[in-house]
Amino acid sequence: MADVFISYAREDSARASSIAGALEADGFSVFRDSEIPAGQTWADYIETKLRNSAAVLVLWSEHSIQSQWVREEARLGRDAGKLIPVQLDASLPPFGFGEVQAADLQSWAGDRADAGWQRLVGAIRFAIEKNGKTAPPPRPVPQPTPRPPPAAQTTSPTPTIPTAENASSSGIKPIWLIASGALGLVGLLVVLVAVNAPQVGQGGVNQEGAGYSQTQTQTDLAGLSAGVEQVVKQALEAEAAATGAATEAASHYERGAAAANAAFAGQYGFGSQQMPDGTLVAGELASMMAGQWAAVGVASPNGVQFYGLYQQNTPTDYATSGRAVIGGVVADGSWAYSAASYSFSGTGSLQGRYVVSGYEQGPTNGTGGSGVGVITYPDGSRYVGEYRGVGVQDQGQYLKEGIGALYGPTGDLIEAGRYANDAWTAAE
């Protein structure tokens, strides 16, 4: 019995082979339909293999979305609560298969240490264990050659970063507030990652794929006044904390997506519920209503989605950790909410405009949030310091607001001081 059944179109055989090989290197047993014994048919062989597998990996592409066989295998996997969709290109999955976020391997080149690949492996392990089987133990992943550490520097106190794990845990809050209120904060927390933006853990990569050297920014402080230097160091610390929160949120996202998928198939006692405003919630509803951390997926009529962990506390206090999607943008990180305010630690981007990693807070009424961290622009330049998020959905933007420093694509200091509405105003 194979751990993973791979469904794909013939035109994608080479990529299917690469994925199968990497899965086997990670310890999974894999079945592909190229292994059908002579004289046996799809009905009496492949279907049995699919039903006996613990996870069904469907590779969606411009070719496979046209294949009736791939669709049938995807249907069987979805109905059994085993479906794990994988996106090979920008093609949208066929109607009826888009309710669960696909693992994005569009730019994957076979690296088992790649963050996107590791998230896919995590989803497969989750599916195997949820199907009552034992996942193979993790295998060593080839690591890149280590870089020399950055030059020593004096550090300032690390800002307190609220996470899902340190939120309080009493009482109940309706889950639909995630969609109708909290995730409507895209303008507030436009630390939003576009769906096709760099994956979590790559916060230093801009939309065009050009990288930056954090070391250059960290050590090039000679031209800064003491006040600006202090804020720049705090912003870099917030960026590091945000990257960690986003990496953790990525695994929570996989759990939420898998739980929602299982709920649609009625597996493991998971369920789904339609809220009065039309929002659909799916996953570990019993745990959620008991005030425990629960893996869930949320989809609202206005396009808001959330996958990850959610805990209901008091009627005005709750927390989440995972991925929020709205208006074509995504945020990865941890949120904590009270009656009138929120706080967020994470990383993301607004596609084609900038990548943001940091910590921010603000009111939950949609008027915007303030934070400290790093904004990386498409040309590779970076603003390090205090910022403000304004606007809503994909019209949101981030402004340089407060004390900070602007560095060019090669790490050279352009200007530093105090900013107002994105404009440099005076030296600090």
Other Cβ atoms less than 10 A from the Cβ of 426: the count is 8
Q: Which of 3, 251, 26 is nearest to 140 (CA)?
A: 26
Averaged pLDDT of the chain: 74
**Phi-psi region at 420: left, alpha or beta (left = phi > 0; alpha = psi -120 to 50):** beta
Give the contacts of 327 (CB within 8 A, at least 6 positions apart).
186, 303, 392, 393, 394, 395
pLDDT of residue 185: 33
User: Residue 202 and residue 209: Cα distance in Å, rounded?
Assistant: 10
pLDDT of residue 59: 93
Mean pLDDT value of segment 24-50: 74
Mean pLDDT value of segment 291-304: 83
pLDDT of residue 127: 82
All domains in the chain, ordered by first residue: 4-130 (3.40.50.10140), 164-426 (no CATH)
Mean pLDDT value of segment 308-317: 84
User: Residue 18 and residue 109: Cα distance in Å, rounded?
Assistant: 9
Task: Categorize the per-residue pLDDT at 133 as very low, low, confident or very high, splitting at 50, 70 and 90.
Answer: confident
Other Cβ atoms less than 10 A from the Cβ of 95: the count is 8
Residue 333 pLDDT > 90, yes or no?
Answer: yes
Q: Which of 265, 250, 276, 284 is nearest to 121 (CA)?
A: 250
> DSSP assignment, residue 197?
S
Residue 386 pLDDT > 90, yes or no?
Answer: yes
Most confidently predicted of 23-37, 55-69, 303-317: 55-69
Task: Categorize the per-residue pLDDT at 254 as very low, low, confident or very high, splitting at 50, 70 and 90.
Answer: confident
pTM, two decimal places: 0.54
> What are the respective helix, strand and coil percentages of the chain, to the nearest 5?
30, 30, 40
Q: Give me the sign of the Cα torsion angle 192, 387, 230, 211.
A: positive
User: Residue 231 and residue 242: Cα distance in Å, rounded?
Assistant: 16
Triad 389, 393, 396: Cα angle to 5°: 35
User: Residue 49 and residue 402: Cα distance in Å, rounded?
Assistant: 60
3 state DSSP class of 147: coil
User: Residue 245 and residue 358: Cα distance in Å, rounded?
Assistant: 10
Our measurement of the distance from residue 289's CA atom to the centroid of its chain's CA atoms, rounded to an integer in Å, reads: 25
Task: Categorize the per-residue pLDDT at 329 as very low, low, confident or very high, splitting at 50, 70 and 90.
Answer: low
Our measurement of the distance from residue 159's CA atom to the centroid of its chain's CA atoms, rounded to an integer in Å, reads: 23
Q: Which of 260, 219, 298 is nearest to 127 (CA)?
A: 260
Q: Which of 74-78, 129-133, 277-281, 405-409 has the lowest mean pLDDT?
A: 129-133
150-179 tens-digit pLDDT: 333 333 332 222 233 333 232 333 333 333
